[in-house]
Structure 1
Amino acid sequence: MTTSDTFSEITSELIALAVDGDRRAVEKIVRTLQKPIYGVAVRMLLDRVDAEDATQEALIRIITRLAQYRGEAKFSTWAWRIAVRRILDFREERTAAAQRTFDAFANDLAQGRDDEAVPRPEDELLHRQLKVVCSRAMLQCLDGDHRIAFILGEILGFSSDEAAEVLEIEAAAFRKRLSRARTALVEFLSRTCGVFDAKAPCACHRRLDRAITLGRVKRDDLEVRPEEGRNLPGLQAHLSTLSEMHRLTAYYRSDPDPMSKRDFVVTLRTMIHQYKEPPS
């Protein structure tokens, strides 16, 4: 099931109740939308606070425009179009931060790398967290058009027709962007990342001390959980059995779904008009 399929929980009846001011209907819509929208925002923007702000603003726009939804397109397409447009606008507002390049990122990975380090079992969760941080940072080396195409098509599994409709471009143009993004990431991962290709020089245990020093990994702020996914040696072994493009998909989908610490329902209650209590 793709992320867009989860929006099937939002029925026309639920939308009508929300438009009429039913607070519980509004909250159900927000709770359904907040996780997938935040997942796109944090991959597009990297900074978690920026991602939460962009998600919040996207949710407000969707909720306050529900009465404008006429059913000409699927609700998921309509909602994603609003959310993606706000996230892209938010990114443009943050352009003071220069876009990374793959070469600059490769240099950053090489700095402070300890080639004598050995993996310690007690650091397994830290290694997995560093892989998550690194894979998201790598996306910042793509420009915005190619980044959102990769996130929608490769990570979230949208079809080219669905993604093109959300982005309001031709399906052929979307496929071209997605192909270019895949090619760039595969090339970079193949020459740098030891998880993706065992022959590459960078490994999470060789970068961990540097990442902790720079504050990129914090022991008390981990998104990964012991029960979620494979450890890195297991993931590396699995990836080695796949073709390059399937390996890229598995590499990114092995990360846990991004989770925000912000409760958007609580926040939105104070920012949009109060909804009527539903009849008991």
Structure 2
Amino acid sequence: MTATSGDVATPDEIDELAHRAQDGDREALELVLAAIRPRTLNVCRGVLPYSPDAEDACQEALLNIATKIGSWGGRGRFTTWTHVVAVNSARTTYRRMKNQAVATDPQEHNVVGEKPDPRTTSVIAGTRLDLLEAMETIERDHPQYVEPLLLRDVYGMAYDEIATLLGVPLGTVKAQIHHGRKLARPLLRGEA
């Protein structure tokens, strides 16, 4: 891969750049970050559709990737590892926003004809908050189900890719996703 911005790196090229970056090659680190930025931003937008929030989460993810690149074990694709980092950064950004939010009277802000806030609207679960709140609830008592469930059902990763990434057997991943779905259904329907 050359240093021009129009190039699209293949997964093999990204893996090679990541290995070089792990060995201390600064140029390779810059190239790999540039190559994965669009995908990282898309992952963050999947959780945080309001562009400034997704951009913040993307920047946090890229910083985490740059500083923790040595922790990528090389078992799976570098892009798969970065996908999980991006999901976690987006969820961290969501939690930070939730903790900073000030409770307000909804009647004061719902002017007739006002469009819904894109930060709280989703086609996934009625509202994006429903989905993220469900994951937060499940994570309190069953944290092992959240990451596989998000990777499969929200981001569409293949079971074998998730198993490789998490370093667990394929059957375990499938069971975790199955149990996670059973826990999430009533939360998303408002039955819990």
Unaligned runs of 5+ in 2: 1-9, 139-145
Higher helix share: 2
Q: Are 2:58 and 1:55 aligned? A: yes
Following superposition, the deviation at residue 58 of structure 1 comes to 0.8
Q: Are 2:103 and 1:92 aligned? A: no
- Which residue in 1 is equivalent to 2:128? 139
Residues 18 and 78, structure 2, Cα contact 8 Å, conserved in 1 = no
- Which residue in 1 is equivalent to 2:7? none
Following superposition, the deviation at residue 93 of structure 1 comes to 1.7
Equivalent positions of 1:66-77 (< 5 A) are: 66-77=69-80
CA distance, structure 2, for counterparts of residue 144 and residue 184 of structure 1: 6
Larger Rg: 1
Q: C-alpha deviations, 1:105-135, integer Å up to 9, x for none?
A: xxx8xx958xxxxxxxxxxxxxxxx9xx652
Q: C-alpha deviations, 1:55-85, integer Å up to 9, x for none?
A: 1111111122223433244423432333333
Higher relative contact order (CA 8 A, sep 6+): 1
Q: C-alpha deviations, 1:184-223, integer Å up to 9, x for none?
A: 77x79xxxxxxxxxxxxxxxxxxxxxxxxxxxxxxxxxxx
Residues 149 and 176, structure 2, Cα contact 8 Å, conserved in 1 = no
Residues matched between the structures, number? 152
Following superposition, the deviation at residue 39 of structure 1 comes to 2.1
Following superposition, the deviation at residue 167 of structure 1 comes to 6.7
Equivalent positions of 1:151-166 (< 5 A) are: 152-163=151-162
CA distance, structure 2, for counterparts of residue 18 and residue 59 of structure 1: 14
Residues 58 and 90, structure 2, Cα contact 8 Å, conserved in 1 = yes
Query: Normalised by the size of structure 1, how large is the TM-score?
Result: 0.41
The 1:63–1:182 alpha-carbon spacing in structure 2 relative to 1, beyond 3 Å, is: same
Residues 160 and 174, structure 1, Cα contact 8 Å, conserved in 2 = no
CA distance, structure 1, for counterparts of residue 75 and residue 166 of structure 2: 16
The 1:164–1:84 alpha-carbon spacing in structure 2 relative to 1, beyond 3 Å, is: farther
Residues 7 and 32, structure 1, Cα contact 8 Å, conserved in 2 = no
- Which residue in 1 is equivalent to 2:14? 10
Cα RMSD for the two superposed structures: 4.0
Query: Normalised by the size of structure 2, how large is the TM-score?
Result: 0.56
Q: Which amino acid letter does the alignment assign opposite residue 156 of structure 1?
A: Y
Equivalent positions of 1:183-194 (< 5 A) are: none
CA distance, structure 1, for counterparts of residue 167 and residue 127 of structure 2: 26
Identity %: 25
The 1:70–1:159 alpha-carbon spacing in structure 2 relative to 1, beyond 3 Å, is: closer
The 1:163–1:95 alpha-carbon spacing in structure 2 relative to 1, beyond 3 Å, is: farther
* Secondary structure of 2:98 counterpart: coil
CA distance, structure 2, for counterparts of residue 72 and residue 50 of structure 1: 31
